[in-house]
């Protein structure tokens, strides 16, 4: 059941967002960039975000809460630290 809901949410994202003008954020596990969850791949390092998105929405579903929707896009990559840089 959870999987079906997650797939539905990901389908919504693929169509251009959960709600018009709203953004769900997802964090890249590779470089730490917080970005629009509609991205299939990280905007900075190209990491495949499928698992991160799936995990995020599965967690929300398990907790019975909706993803946090933001009215603005995430800050640009240049304003966020790169976890790969030591
Ligand atoms: Zn990344």
Intra-chain end-to-end CA distance of the chain, in Å = 41
Task: Tell which wins on pLDDT, 10 or 44.
Answer: 44
Distance 31 CA to ligand 1 centre (A): 4
Domains of the chain: which residue ranges?
2-79
> What is the torsional sign of CA 21, 38, 57, 29?
negative
Distance 48 CA to ligand 1 centre (A): 8
Do residues 82 and 44 lie in contact, with contact meaning Cβ atoms separated by under 8 Å?
Answer: yes
Neighbours of 51 (CB within 10 A): 10
**Token reading at 15:** 């169509």
Distance 83 CA to ligand 1 centre (A): 9
Percent above pLDDT 70 for the chain: 91
Instruction: Give the C-alpha separation, 25 to 68, whole Å.
Output: 8
Instruction: Give the C-alpha separation, 13 to 17, whole Å.
Output: 4
Look at residue 19 in the predicted model and tell me its pLDDT.
74
Distance 49 CA to ligand 1 centre (A): 8
Distance 50 CA to ligand 1 centre (A): 12
Instruction: Give the C-alpha separation, 85 to 43, whole Å.
Output: 16
Distance 40 CA to ligand 1 centre (A): 11
Look at residue 14 in the predicted model and tell me its pLDDT.
66
pLDDT bin (cut points 50, 70, 90) of residue 20 is confident
């Amino acid at each position: 059941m959870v999987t079906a809901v997650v797939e539905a949410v990901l389908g919504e994202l693929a169509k251009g967002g959960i709600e018009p003008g709203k953004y769900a954020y997802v964090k890249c596990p590779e470089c730490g960039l917080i970005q629009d969850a509609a991205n299939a791949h990280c905007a900075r390092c190209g990491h495949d975000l499928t698992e991160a998105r799936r995990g995020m929405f599965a967690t929300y579903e398990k907790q019975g809460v909706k993803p946090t929707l933001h009215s603005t896009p995430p800050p640009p990559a240049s304003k966020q630290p790169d976890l790969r840089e030591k």
